[in-house]
Amino acid sequence: MLQQLDLSLLLQFNSLAGRWPLVDTIAGLLVNDYLVPTALASLLIWLWLRGRGPAERAADTGTALNAFASQFVANMILKLTNLAYFRARPFDRYPQVHLLFYRPWDSSCPSNPATFAFALAVAIYLGDRKLGLLALALATVWALARVFCGVHYPLDVVAGAALGGTVAYYLSRRSATMAWLRQRLLDLMRKGLIA
């Protein structure tokens, strides 16, 4: 039943692809592996460099470290998941899917881009709500573009968002090991004058 709902949502959303060249062009820009990741990386750089005083710089650097660690750990979990579970892409199973992107060959679920983007976005949000809302908006647009363009099912991006967001929350708020490591890295960075 859940798979039927997933397929139904995909086909309804993806049926809009190929109708309006301008919308397809915008979706093509959003779905690729460059625009949103570059924007998210730019937010992280801004976060890292913007601090005015030592306390603000330390907090922002800690948030950036949380984001880096979150996407790394989330992607490691994703790769292990992909070794155990493979889901074919929608365009491989359903000829009516309008593909507006190249043909990725790896598992569709969880979505790699959603995992990456939401790991960064949630970590940023937990450190700075205003920048975090922008990061979450970028992550959401990227995830929706992946469905619109026929690259993922809706549940693929939901699973990726849940994975990335959960890891970011855990590492940012619950992990004593990450808190200890973050503090050691901040101390080293201060000595090297980069925090």
Per residue in 135-153, pLDDT tens?
999 999 999 999 999 999 9
Q: What is the pLDDT of residues 78-104, one digit of tens each?
A: 999 999 999 999 999 988 998 888 888
Q: For residue 46, what pLDDT is reported?
A: 92
Helix pair 112-127, 129-148: axis angle to 10 deg: 170
Structure confidence at residue 191 (pLDDT): 78
- pLDDT over 70 at 194, yes or no: no
Q: Where are the alpha helices (DSSP H) in the chain?
A: 2-14, 21-31, 35-49, 54-84, 90-93, 112-127, 129-148, 154-169, 176-191
Q: State how many domains the chain has.
A: 1
CATH for 115: 1.20.144.10
pTM of the predicted model, to two decimals? 0.91
Work out the mean pLDDT of the chain and round it to a whole number: 92
Structural domain boundaries enclosing 59: 2-191
Do 5 and 125 form a contact (C-beta atoms < 8 A)? no
